[in-house]
């Protein structure tokens, strides 16, 4: 199947609707019945302002997080439209991919 890999980048302290943004993205993808999504916590990273973000022993709020999903073009469009309607401001990448299962 052809579609897109959507990857969203944020820090642990980003919130939407009173919830951690990464968790909110996962739950919305599930609620919208997308094929799946993965939350990845990183040790370090930096963004457009070149500020280093890292997980610290005492404070995890600055920890970089990534939510990745492989979706059809229709689902990618539908999910991005939903984020815009919800007023979610998050950096993302969208790459054309081929995906499937080895058991199909």
Any domain includes 84? no
**What is the pTM (predicted TM-score) of this model?**
0.84
The reported pLDDT for the residue numbered 42 is 72
Any domain includes 37? yes
Any domain includes 103? no
Give per-residue pLDDT as tens, 32-66: 999 999 999 876 666 666 665 555 555 555 678 99
Counting beta carbons within 10 angstroms of the beta carbon of residue 36, is it exposed (0 to 12), middle (13 to 18) or buried (19 or more)?
exposed
Residue-range definition of the domain harbouring residue 63: 25-44+57-67
Give the whole-angstrom CA distance, residue 49 versus residue 9.
14
Domain count of the fold of the chain: 1
Give the whole-angstrom CA distance, residue 75 versus residue 77.
5
- Average pLDDT for residues 72-93, to the nearest whole number? 97
Q: What share of the chain has pLDDT > 70, as a percent?
A: 81
Any domain includes 4? no
Any domain includes 63? yes
Any domain includes 18? no
Q: Tokens for 4?
A: 């897109």
Any domain includes 100? no
Q: Taking 60 as the threshold, does the pLDDT of residue 25 lie above it?
A: yes
The reported pLDDT for the residue numbered 61 is 52
Q: Taking 90 as the threshold, does the pLDDT of residue 74 lie above it?
A: yes
């Amino acid at each position: 199947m052809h579609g897109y890999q959507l990857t969203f980048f944020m820090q642990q302290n980003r919130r939407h609707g009173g919830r951690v943004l990464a968790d909110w993205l996962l739950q919305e993808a599930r609620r919208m019945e997308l094929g799946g999504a993965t939350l990845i916590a990183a040790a370090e990273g930096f963004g457009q302002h070149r500020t280093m973000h890292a997980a610290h022993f005492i404070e995890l709020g600055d920890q970089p997080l990534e939510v990745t999903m492989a979706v059809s073009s229709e689902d990618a469009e539908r999910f991005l439209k939903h984020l815009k309607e919800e007023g979610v401001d998050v950096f993302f990448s969208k790459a054309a991919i081929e995906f499937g299962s080895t058991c199909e």
